[in-house]
Amino acid sequence: MSDTHQPTDTLHLGQQSALPASPQEAKLDYPANPRPDALYLVRFAAPEFTSLCPVTGAPDFAHLVIDYAPGQTIVESKSLKLFLGSFRNHNGFHEDVTVGIGQRLADEMKPRWLRIGGYWYPRGGIPIDVFWQTGTPPEGLWVPEQGVAGYRGRG
């Protein structure tokens, strides 16, 4: 589990940061939530996410959508971009990659609620979409659709 950092003690924000060699080496920053008493949703979309097939080593591409309702911390976007970028050399099945990203964020950030949608582009003619969430969204949280079209020129 990664250490939590205050906004003035971030590893990446305002600093030169190299792309981590692997997801395990990636360090995510979790500054304090600036609105801890407000119930709100944060969305990150990564339409050009890449990892590698664990069998062939060929690249797999996905459009990831991560939605979360912050608790006491938020995830700093540069550290998240570096973490997601570290998957470009990572071998993993779509299910393992998608759920693993969601679980790591949930375990480390401890949001009120989190969900991830992994909309994977087809290989072998079949797109695979993977969804995971921590549970039922808190009452009163506005949770919009993730906005990724079913496969037919997904973009």
What CATH number does residue 118 fall under? Answer: 3.30.1130.10
The answer to whether 61 and 49 are in contact (CB under 8 A) is yes
119 part of a folded domain: yes
18 part of a folded domain: no
- CB-CB neighbours of 69 under 10 Å: 20
What pTM, to 2 d.p., does this model score?
0.89
31 part of a folded domain: yes
Tens digits of per-residue pLDDT, 103-137?
999 999 999 999 999 999 998 888 899 999 999 99
85 part of a folded domain: yes
Residue of 29, 60, 96, 107 marked catalytic: 60
Tens digits of per-residue pLDDT, 56-110?
999 999 999 999 999 999 999 999 999 999 999 999 999 999 999 999 999 999 9
Instruction: Examine the residue annotation and report whether 53 is marked as an active-site residue of this protein.
Output: yes
Domain that holds residue 44: 25-133
Q: How many domains does the chain have?
A: 1
Placement of tokens 């964020």 in the chain: 105
- Measured distance CA(46)–CA(94) in Å, rounded: 15
The answer to whether 62 and 96 are in contact (CB under 8 A) is no
10 part of a folded domain: no
110 part of a folded domain: yes
140 part of a folded domain: no
Instruction: Examine the residue annotation and report whether 29 is marked as an active-site residue of this protein.
Output: no
Residue of 53, 67, 96, 129 marked catalytic: 53
